[in-house]
Structure 1
Amino acid sequence: MTTRPAPRAGEDLRAVLLDSGGVLMRPIGGRWNPRADFEETVLAHHPAIPPERFAAAVAEGDRFLDGSSTTPAPDDYHRLLLRVLDVEPTPELLADLRREVPPAKVLETYPEVVDTLTELARRGVRMAVVSDAWPNLPDLHAGLGLDGFFEAYAISAVLGCNKPDPRMYRHASTALGLPPARCLFVDDDPELVAAALDLGYAARHLRRGDAPAADLPTVTSLTDLLDLF
């Protein structure tokens, strides 16, 4: 098997393009979708739903997201889950499911993130986010203390495509005014890292904990990025 070349460090790199989920932040309780308070919210409207019905709804929602070419609207996603639960998706319930909550209630940053981003910024490294996410991602980051670090966001629900569509990567690098070779892309999904390399970006697979190894340049913490700039 041919090993992909590692991205060049030092003066060649000017920016880092970061995935969000699994790289910058994680869900409290371990589940991204639906939000951690989904069951609580639905039960407040329909208290008789048995717990096993929620598991089936979440599984169907996962299949729906996996099969979507872009990130669907939150109401469309919630309607699907409510249909599995045999619950009418009233405007009131849909609004309650997408109501704003403090991000820190359902999300947390990884321990090294803020310090690493602060040091990268001090060194003059430009930063952008490339994420399959809903449009409120910048607000979630702000609620977790990550506002001010990123010059640009490439968000799937805004652009109408998911990674590894080249438009996701190029939106971020173009917004920074930099060619792909000057940008280091970081993601916890090895397939998306491989796609970035094929597009001419430098890249690192962020492999946390016991995640499977891949034949890619790898870091085990965002702190490792400081060796590249």
Structure 2
Amino acid sequence: MPSRPQAVLFDSGGVLMQPKGGRWNPRADFEDIMREHFPALTDEDLAGAIAVGDVFMAAAADATTPDYDDFHRAILSHLGITGTPELLADLRRPVPPASILEVFPEVLPTLRTLRERGVRMAVVSDAWPELPELHRALGLHGFFEAYAISALVGCHKPDPRMYRHASDALGLAPEQCLFVDDAPDLVEAALTLGYQGRAVLRTPPERPCPVDWVTGIDQLLPLVQPAA
């Protein structure tokens, strides 16, 4: 029976935080920005463009995280709109992260407890390079020793390099780390690589889950132990 892990490797979206309104891409203010530039756009127009963006992201699933401007160009092309530098910049204009993202209620107390116990932590996320800055703005800074971010590592989970980038940064073997993700198949992949794992399913699944799961990260506390 494996010993309790000494570190936790967290996915970010769906585990630590979620988008307000339930949509990751494009950003929650996409419709408002587009209507500022093109008032004649209808809800149907924008919904069709967002659907094209979903297809674009799905096509990139086996490669690295695409450039966000390229993502927006794909959406705009569907609308017959040229992605000028000014428009692309507006779609990426800085906004307070708390206006579009929120941390799950149990996350900060749990991270504080893990840190107090000496449990080491890292993030393994299919995300853009700005993720650490987003975490900082949401109060999640100071907890994670390392980030494995797909846009920087150059691959997506379940590529083994994503998991190993984090565990290697901590100087720990896979079996010493607990990988946590809201996608059970990505937890399965981690298990095959020798990591311990749990899925975070905030709504109980309708079908049997192939891996052990919890409904919140506070339920991970009994599963880990600090380094000796």
TM category, shorter: over 0.9
The answer for the alignment partner of 2:39 in structure 1 is 47
Provide the rounded CA distance (Å) in 1 between the counterparts of 2:142 and 2:94: 21
SS at match of 1:135: coil
Matched residue type, 1:110:
F
Q: Segments of 4+ in structure 1 off by > 3 A? A: 7-10, 210-213
1:184 to 175, 178, 183: 178
Is 1:196 equivalent to 2:190 in the alignment?
Answer: yes
Could you tell me how far apart the structure 2 residues matched to 1:25 and 1:9 are?
A: 29
Q: Distance in 1 between matches of 2:76 and 2:83?
A: 6
Equivalent position of 1:22 in the other structure? 14
Q: Which digits, 9 at most, give the CA deviation of each residue in 1:66-91, with x for residues without a partner?
A: 11122100100000001111111110
For 1:210 and 1:56, the matched residues in 2 are separated by 31
Counterparts in 2 of 1:98-177, with a 5 A limit?
98-177=92-171
In structure 1, what is the Cα distance between the partners aligned to 2:106 and 2:93?
29
Alignment RMSD (CA, Å):
1.1
Alpha carbons 1:17, 1:128 under 8 Å: kept: yes
Structure 1 counterpart of 2:181, which letter?
D
> Which residue is equivalent to 1:215?
210
Shift of 1:8: 3.9
The structural deviation recorded for 1:159 is 1.2
Distance in 2 (alpha carbons) for counterparts of 1:211 and 1:82? 36
Does structure 2 conserve the Cα–Cα contact (< 8 Å) formed by 1:183 and 1:202?
yes
- Output one character per residue of 1:97-151: Cα deviation in whole Å (capped at 9) or x when no partner: 1111110000000010000000000000000000001110001111110000000
Structure 2 gap ranges (5+): none
| Aligned-partner residue type, residue 215 of structure 1 | P
Is the contact made by 2:10 and 2:179 (CA closer than 8 Å) also made in structure 1?
yes
What is the Cα deviation at residue 28 of structure 1? 0.3
CA gap of 1:105–1:22, structure 2 versus 1, over 3 A, is: same
Aligned equivalent of 1:63: 55
Normalising by structure 1, what TM-score? 0.94
With over 3 angstroms needed to count, the CA separation of the structure-2 counterparts of 1:209 and 1:9, relative to structure 1, is farther
Kept after mapping to 2: 8 A contact 1:184/1:203: yes
CA contact (8 A) 1:9 1:228 kept: no
TM-score (normalizing by structure 2): 0.94
Unaligned runs of 5+ in 1: 1-6
Q: Does 1:226 align with 2:221?
A: yes
Structure-2 change in CA distance of 1:70 and 1:211 (3 Å): farther
Q: Could you tell me whether the CA contact under 8 Å between 2:2 and 2:175 is conserved in 1?
A: no
Using the TM superposition, give the Cα deviation of residue 9 of structure 1 relative to its aligned residue in structure 2, in angstroms.
Answer: 5.1
Contact 1:15–1:125 under 8 Å retained in 2:
yes
For 2:205 and 2:18, locate their aligned partners in 1 and report how far apart those are by CA, in whole Å: 15
